[in-house]
Amino acid sequence: MKMPEPNRDVIARRAVIAAGLQDIVPGEGVIVDEDELRPYESDGLTAYRQLPLIVVLPETTEQVSRVLRYCHDNDVKVVPRGAGTSLSGGALPLADGIILGLGKFKKIIEIDYDNRCAVVQPGVTNLGITDAVRDNGFYYAPDPSSQIACTIGGNIAENSGGVHSLKYGLTTNNVLGLELVMMDGEVVRIGGKHLDSDGYDLLGLMTGSEGLLGVVTEVTVRILRAPETARALLIGFPSNEAAGACVAGVIGAGIIPGGMEMMDRPAIQAAEAFVQAGYPLDVEALLIVELDGPETEVDYLIGEVERIAGENDAESIRISESEDERESFWAGRKAAFPAIGRLSPDYYCMDGTIPRGRLPEVLSRMAALSSQYGLRVANVFHAGDGNLHPLILYDANIPGELENAEAFGADILRLCVEVGGVLTGEHGVGVEKRDLMGTMFTEDDLKQQQRVKCAFDPTSLLNPGKVFPTLHRCAELGRVHIHAGQTRFPDLPRF
C-alpha cells in the first residue's frame, strides 16, 4: 500500500525539528530523506512498517542528553532504537516522532578482569562482548539467537535471554551498572562494578523497561570465566510429551544444565536442512542438553541425563566428543528461526512462558489450535525455563493469512496465561502483546505500572504507544484520546 503524502504542516514541523537536531548532531547525524529513513521503518516484527518523522544518530552521551532535552522542550516523541532485532515491535517508529538510533555507541570502554566485568556502550553486539574477552578465558553468558547482531542496549530494553539463561540467568542477572539519560536530558548512573547496591532495585526496574523510562548510554556487565568442560547431548524422542517429561525429570533430579533446548519435528528438519548439524530426522522431538563444570562432574551428570532420557523413551542419544561437535549441536538450534524461512514465505515468532510441568499439555493444545486455524506451527524453545517460541507459518500474499496468524498467536499467549504462565519471556510486550496485557493484569495493575512510567517520563514522550493498552495522563491517570491512524495500532499515528 502506498504511504499517504505528508501534509504541509507535517513537512514544516519536520524541517523545524530537523534544524534543531542538526544544531546538536551535525553532519550526517540527522536523516530526513525518505529513502534513507526506510531502513528504520520496522524492527524484527516485519509485518508492520512505518516511516519515522526523523532519525537522529548521536555519538556521545552529551548529544543524547541535548537531543532528549530538545524533544522534551518541544513536545517531540522519541523511540530509542538499537540494532532493530526486536520481535515485539518495541522499536516500531512513530510517524510524528523521531528515532533515536544508538548504532554509533559501539565502543568497549573497559575490561576489568579483577572485578570480572566489562564496561561497554549500548551499540556493542551481544557476541562482541564475548569476543572481546574470549582469549582470556571469559565470556558473557546471555546468548540470544540473534547475538551476532543484537546489541547490549537492546538486550537491556527487552531483558533478553538465550540458550544458556537456564543456569546463568537473563540479562537482568548479568548487568551491574547503567548510565542513563532521562527524557529531560538529565544523566544519571545506577549500580557500577560492585555486586550490589543499597536502596531500590533501579537496575531491575530499567532492565526490561522497553525504552519507556530512559535511554541507556553505557552498560557494565558481568563476565564469567569459561567452564573447564562443556559437553552437550542430542536426544531424540518419539513424541513431544516424552521430551517434555524428560525435561521435568532432569530438573526434578536437581540437575541444572548450562542449557536445555527443545525442537519439534518441523523445526528439526528445517534446521538440519539449513545447517547440517547431524540432527536425527526420524524423531518427533529433540532435546539439546548441555552440562558444564569440572570434567568429573560433567561425566557424572551425562550419565544421569542418559538414564533419565532412557526412562522417558529416548530413541537416540548422541554426546559431543569435541568442542566443534558441541558447537554444531547449538548451531542448528540458533539457526532455527532463519531455517524456518525455508518452509514458508513468512512466519510469526511468538514468545510466552509457562510452568515446565504444563509443557506436554500446552504442546498438545497448540497442535489443536494449528488444526483450528489451518496454519502450521514449528516449535523451538528454552525448555528448561518454559520459554516457548512457536513459529506460525503463513503467507502474507494470501489475503487474511496475516490476521489469521495473529489470532492464532494471541490464542497461544492466552493459553500461556491460562496455565499459569506469562505473556513474554524475553521478547517484550511492545505493540505485539500490548492489547493482551489485560489477560494478565487488572486495570488497577496497569495504572500502577504506568505510575512508574510517569515518575520517569511525566510527558509520556519516550516510546509512547508501547506496552500499555490504554494511555493515561500522568497528572490524574485519566483516559486520553490520541490520534486515530491507518495502522493496526490506531494510536501509533500515520500521516
- What is the full DSSP assignment across 106-117? --EEEEETTTTE
Predicted pLDDT at 385: 87
Q: Residue 479 has what pLDDT?
A: 39
For strands 285-293 and 259-264, give the pairing: antiparallel
Phi, psi of 451, rounded to the nearest 5 degrees: -60, -35
Domain 8-101 architecture: 2-Layer Sandwich (3.30)
**Two domains, one topology: 108-225 and 344-418:** no
Nearest-CA neighbor of 240 among 268, 263, 257?
263
pLDDT tens per residue across all 495 residues of the chain: 455 566 788 888 999 999 999 999 999 999 999 999 999 999 987 788 999 999 999 999 999 999 999 999 999 999 999 999 999 999 999 999 999 999 999 999 999 999 999 999 999 999 999 999 999 999 999 999 899 999 999 999 999 999 899 999 999 999 999 999 999 999 999 999 877 777 889 999 999 999 999 999 999 999 999 999 999 999 999 998 899 899 989 999 999 999 999 999 999 999 999 999 999 999 999 999 999 999 999 999 999 999 999 999 999 999 999 999 999 999 999 898 889 888 899 999 999 999 988 888 898 899 999 999 999 999 998 988 899 999 999 999 999 999 999 999 999 999 999 999 999 989 999 999 999 999 999 999 999 999 999 999 999 999 999 999 987 778 666 433 333 333 445 555 443
Q: Cβ contacts of residue 258 below 8 Å, gap of 6+?
A: 164, 166, 167, 168, 227, 230, 290, 291, 292
Element (H, E) at 346: strand 346-349
Domain range list for the chain:
8-101, 108-225, 229-337, 344-418
Range 200-224 burial, b when 16+ CB lie within 10 A, else e: eebbeebbbbbbbbbbbbbbbbbbb
Please give the model's pTM, rounded to 2 decimal places.
Answer: 0.90
Residue 303 CA to residue 299 CA, distance in Å, equals 7
Q: Which three cell numbers stand for residue 195?
A: 555486586
Which architecture does CATH list for 108-225? 2-Layer Sandwich (3.30)
Q: What is the DSSP letter of 124?
A: S
Q: Are strands 387-394 and 352-353 parallel, antiparallel or unpaired?
A: antiparallel
CATH code for residues 344-418 = 3.30.70.2740
Domain 229-337's class? alpha beta
Containing 387, the helix (H) or strand (E) segment is strand 387-394
